């Protein structure tokens, strides 16, 4: 779906979701109840919007009208009111990791599985804004999983390791923020006061509500803090650490509230200005600007489209195989456009003395199979395949480490 259409659909869904306001009681009591006990909006508007977007019947897990051989693994987080852990609803299954500490929810009866719209409704039930979603089959209410993991990157990494056992590093770990307030120096604004308030209310069981509904600044900082903690924890694994990226925009004002639908266009314009090449300040000191960071992420994603499959190794250590592109066969025009950019590949070998030598390839890709045959001499067991495009300015990126497409 094009970005422009995605923005339009999101605005339409938001307008419908936030149209059915709960007007119980006097105004003063209503605002107090919203913070402590109740919610601002009824669930009917959100239910209808999600049912229109996903349909009423398709299951998140199991065969449905969206099932294909190229299905992308999807998971959303929810929580139980008053619970101490998040729950993960997915469109895939895997072996349990632990009988007592596994986030994944899987039902014995397929009919009891979450429908797509129900999973979306559960993870969208932000405390103080929407009531919990009660799932009849499970006899369980669910709320937004952000009350436990405002940034679910750690759970994502645990899932990756549980699904793919080959210990290959990820192609990229990308986290996308929704904006954070910055000070005059371009760094995240100090919110020590909000943090102290959060700690005082922790004993009342309101920590999750506070993060989602009371202080937007604190919520966005929680996302960044959880990301920073994750990146620090994987620093020992240089292959994983170097592909960790978090994109975000700095806002001079407080980020808009969750239900401020009228602020979407203004927020989009601010994001565009922040992402321009001539915008100097940026949250991530590894890059001079947000634009440069996006370019780096885009190059990493393009390179990750390709992977190598070895077919045969001769007695003289010549490797014969194919470079494949992961793009769906329905994206033939996109693949042809990518080839028109002139991709170049090289096989790099680590030889004696720690030096690297490389062989350059420009394979002839078949636009029916999205594959191109290459042959190279094996010089060492330490080797990688990289690619570049002319407009990358001499920068090379490793292609995917997987030996085949991952469904």
Give the whole-angstrom CA distance, residue 58 versus residue 281. 45
* pLDDT, tens only, 344-391: 999 887 767 666 777 888 999 998 999 999 988 877 777 789 999 999
* pLDDT, tens only, 5-46: 998 999 999 999 998 777 654 454 444 444 444 788 888 999
Residue 257: exposure state from Cβ atoms within 10 A (0-12, 13-18, ≥19):
exposed
Three-class SS of residue 404?
Answer: coil
The pTM is what? 0.83
DSSP, residue by residue, 292-324: HHHHHHHHHHHHTTEEEEEEEE-TT-EEEEEEE
Give the whole-angstrom CA distance, residue 246 versus residue 190. 20
pLDDT at residue number 27: 52
pLDDT at residue number 199: 52
Give the whole-angstrom CA distance, residue 198 versus residue 171. 36
* pLDDT, tens only, 93-148: 888 877 777 888 888 888 888 999 999 999 999 988 999 999 988 889 999 998 88
């Amino acid at each position: 779906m094009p970005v422009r259409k995605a923005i339009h659909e999101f605005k339409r869904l938001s307008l419908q979701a936030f149209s059915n306001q709960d007007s119980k009681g006097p105004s003063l009591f209503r605002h107090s109840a919203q913070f402590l006990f109740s919610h601002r909006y009824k669930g009917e508007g959100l239910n209808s919007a999600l049912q229109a977007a996903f349909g009423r019947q398709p299951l998140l897990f199991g065969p449905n009208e969206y099932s294909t051989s190229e299905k992308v693994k999807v998971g959303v987080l929810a929580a139980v009111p008053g619970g101490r852990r998040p729950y993960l609803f997915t469109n895939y299954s895997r072996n349990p990791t632990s009988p007592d500490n596994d986030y994944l929810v899987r039902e014995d009866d397929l009919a009891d599985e979450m429908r797509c719209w129900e999973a979306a409704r559960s993870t969208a039930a932000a405390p103080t804004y929407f009531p919990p979603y009660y799932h009849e089959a499970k006899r369980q209410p669910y709320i937004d999983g952000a009350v436990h993991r405002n940034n679910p990157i750690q759970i994502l990494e645990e899932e990756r390791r549980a699904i793919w056992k080959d210990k290959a590093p990820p192609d990229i770990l990308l986290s996308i923020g929704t904006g954070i307030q910055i000070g005059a120096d371009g760094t995240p604004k100090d919110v020590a006061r909000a943090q102290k308030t959060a700690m005082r209310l922790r004993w009342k069981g309101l920590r999750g509500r506070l993060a989602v509904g009371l202080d937007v600044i604190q919520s966005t900082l929680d996302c960044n803090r959880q990301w920073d903690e994750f990146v620090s924890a994987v620093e020992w694994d240089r292959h994983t650490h170097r592909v960790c990226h978090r994109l975000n925009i700095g806002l001079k004002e407080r980020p808009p509230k969750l239900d401020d639908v009228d602020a979407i266009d203004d927020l989009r314009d601010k994001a565009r200005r922040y992402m321009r090449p001539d915008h100097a300040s940026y949250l991530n000191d590894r890059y001079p600007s947000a634009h440069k960071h996006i370019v780096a992420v885009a190059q990493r994603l393009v390179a990750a489209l390709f992977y190598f499959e070895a077919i045969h190794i001769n007695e003289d250590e010549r490797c014969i195989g194919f470079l494949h592109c992961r793009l769906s066969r329905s994206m033939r025009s996109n693949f042809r456009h990518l080839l028109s950019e002139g991709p170049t590949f090289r096989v790099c070998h680590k030889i004696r003395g720690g030096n690297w030598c490389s062989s350059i390839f420009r394979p002839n890709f078949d636009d029916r199979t999205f594959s191109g045959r290459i042959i190279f001499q094996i010089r060492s067991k330490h080797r990688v395949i990289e690619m570049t495009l002319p407009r990358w300015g001499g920068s090379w990126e490793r292609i995917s480490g997987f030996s085949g497409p991952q469904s």
